[in-house]
Chains A and B, each alone.
Chain A
Amino acid sequence: DAGVIQSPRHEVTEMGQEVTLRCKPISGHDYLFWYRQTMMRGLELLIYFNNNVPIDDSGMPEDRFSAKMPNASFSTLKIQPSEPRDSAVYFCASSLSLGSGTQYFGPGTRLLVL
């Protein structure tokens, strides 16, 4: 298996622009997670899906962030409008089960908002 795939790997944008991050989980994994990583806060869970259904989005910082999973092989995280404080590395991960399941992380998208 190719593992979790994320695109783009790097994104530089200007404040106010819309940013869309994409993720393809490992085939057969029922859970998909979106994380944000910063030096200050570490790895923060933003939202997770089970069988394409959003289960907990309490980690989404504000209404500017939204996530979708239209099918089992694709998810997006959108930021609109983007702000400089959104600059971070965004990881997508997938797993077979929730708590005790091993999470497999994608390579991440490094986002810089100017």
Chain B
Amino acid sequence: QQPVQSPQAVILREGEDAVINCSSSKALYSVHWYRQKHGEAPVFLMILLKGGEQKGHEKISASFNEKKQQSSLYLTASQLSYSGTYFCGTEANSGNTPLVFGKGTRLSVIA
């Protein structure tokens, strides 16, 4: 089943922070985050595996709460280059299953 992302869209000024959430109704083995810029292909950001870990990637980090079946993506001190649509992809708890992607969160960073 498709994970639910929130918010659907957000507008930030440069330097502001944002949180994007991804929730699943099913137990998860892993959560993947991708970013897609307008007219381009989705690009992998990071993967979080079952175990409740948190990961960082420059000023973009994420957490995974397997008990709540939720993941959050944190963008701090946003830059213009962060603009795009962020997708979470979830892998079922059985593992070794294809990802199911959420509908995405459109992030716009303005000067």
Contacts and interface: CB of A to CB of B under 8 A. Distances in A.
Given A99-B29, A100-B95, A45 B100 contact: yes
A66 to B, nearest CB: 19
A106 B41 CA distance: 6
Nearest to B5: A42
Given A42-B87, A100-B95, A108 B103 contact: no
B66 to A, nearest CB: 14
A99 B95 contact: yes
A95 to B, nearest CB: 9
Contacts, number: 54
A42 B43 CA distance: 15
B41 A98 contact: no
Interface string A77-114: 00000000000000100000111101111111000000
Contact of A99 (B2, B44, B99): B99
Contacts of B98: 33, 45, 48, 56, 98-99
B84 interface: no
A12 interface: no
A99 B41 CA distance: 19
A86 B101 CA distance: 20
Contacts of B103: 41-42
A5 B100 CA distance: 22
Interface string B30-51: 1010000000111110010100
Contacts of B47: 100, 102
Given A91-B42, A99-B99, A105-B42, 6 more contacts: A33-B98, A42-B87, A98-B97, A103-B32, A104-B44, A107-B41
Interface of B: 2, 29-30, 32, 40-44, 47, 49, 87, 89, 91-92, 95-104
29 contacts: A33-B98, A41-B103, A42-B87, A42-B101, A42-B103, A42-B104, A43-B42, A43-B101, A45-B98, A45-B100, A48-B98, A56-B98, A91-B41, A97-B96, A98-B97, A99-B95, A99-B96, A99-B99, A100-B30, A100-B49, A100-B95, A102-B44, A102-B47, A103-B32, A103-B44, A103-B99, A104-B44, A105-B42, A108-B41
